[in-house]
Structure formats: C-alpha cells, structure tokens
C-alpha cells in the first residue's frame, strides 16, 4: 500500500470518528431531553417516544459508521503495523478521537441507566407500560451498537518500555 493511500485512509478514519463524535453529542442531548420528559411534573410520553425514534435513527447511522471504520481499519492495519512511527501524528489524532468517543459513550450509558431506573420506578408506580414501547428498542439497539464498536485496536497502544 502506498504512503499517500495510507494517509488518505487515515484521514477517512479520523473523519469517521469525528462524525461519530457529533452523532454522540446529539445522543447526549437526546438523553438530557429524555430526562426532562420523564422527570418533570407532567410526563411527556409523546415527546419521549419521538426522541426515541430520533435516537434509533442516529444509532443506525452510528452502526454504519462503525462498520465502515472497522472495514477500513482492517484494510490498513497491516501497513500501519509495519511503520507506525511514520504516521504517529495521524494515529495520535485518531487515538484522541477514540478517547472522546469512548468518554461520550460512557456518559450516555450512565444516562441511559438512570433513565431506565426512572422508567422502572414509574412502571412500578402504576404508569401504563404501553406508553414506553419505543424506549427498550432504542436502548437495545444502542447497547448492541456500542458493545460492537471494537475501536480500541492494538496499533494505538503505546509500546514504549519502561526502564
């Protein structure tokens, strides 16, 4: 693989992670809006379900980005392992983006757990469960997507030895 091709592929990988980061920012906003819908004086079930639909669409796009990232990374990985120092600047940028994505994912998962706890309490209190139909679907899709990311690849690990 030519160096110019590899540099282009690394740029595409970074762009993919930047898009994922922006989508995750929107998911964070949706999680905040979800909490407002479920924690206010009046429950906004319609707003909650609308947000779940939007979140489901974003999660599908995240899945496509993950699939593309993985396919491209698998293609360039052997060339990167041969000479990682030649691309250290691009790899550091990708590593920083992966860290940002991972941090956002952890925050979103914590928010989802709090929201699920709130929904469980509402259900136990007698609020009809049929109004929450789309929530488990979106949450399940989200968890499946986030558990299959596989972003932290060995090439991004610092291999320096301590003396």
pLDDT digits 0-9 by tens, 91-112? 999 999 999 999 999 999 998 8
- Residue 70's Cβ-side half-sphere holds a number of Cα atoms within 13 Å equal to 12
Using pLDDT thresholds of 50, 70 and 90, give the confidence band for residue 42.
confident
Beta-carbon contacts of residue 84 (< 8 Å; ≥ 6 apart): 91, 155
Write the pLDDT tens digit of every residue in 2-19: 878 899 999 999 999 999
Decide: pTM greater than 0.85. no
Residues 156 and 91: beta-carbon distance below 8 Å: yes
Identify how many contiguous H helices and E strands the chain contains and give both numbers: 4, 0
Domain assignments of the chain as residue spans, ordered by start = 3-146
Q: Is 44 helix (H, G, I), strand (E, B) or coil?
A: coil
Give residue 154's pLDDT: 42
Query: Which token pair is 84?
Result: 């990682």
What's the longest Cα–Cα distance across the chain?
63
How many CB atoms neighbour CB 113 within 10 A? 11
Pair 145, 63: CB distance under 8 Å: yes
């Amino acid at each position: 693989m030519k160096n110019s091709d590899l540099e282009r592929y690394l740029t595409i990988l970074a762009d993919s992670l930047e898009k994922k980061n922006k989508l995750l920012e929107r998911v964070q906003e949706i999680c905040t809006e979800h909490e407002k819908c479920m924690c206010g004086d009046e429950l906004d079930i319609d707003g909650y379900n609308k947000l779940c639909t939007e979140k489901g669409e974003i999660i599908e796009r995240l899945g496509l980005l993950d699939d593309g990232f993985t396919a491209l990374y698998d293609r360039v990985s052997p060339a990167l392992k041969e000479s990682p120092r030649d691309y250290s600047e691009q790899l550091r940028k990708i590593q920083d983006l992966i860290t940002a994505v991972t941090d956002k994912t952890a925050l979103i998962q914590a928010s989802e757990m709090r929201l699920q706890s709130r929904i469980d309490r509402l259900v136990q209190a007698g609020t009809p469960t049929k109004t929450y139909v789309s929530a488990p679907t979106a949450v399940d899709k989200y968890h499946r997507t986030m558990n299959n990311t596989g972003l932290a690849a060995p090439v991004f690990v610092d291999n320096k030895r301590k003396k």
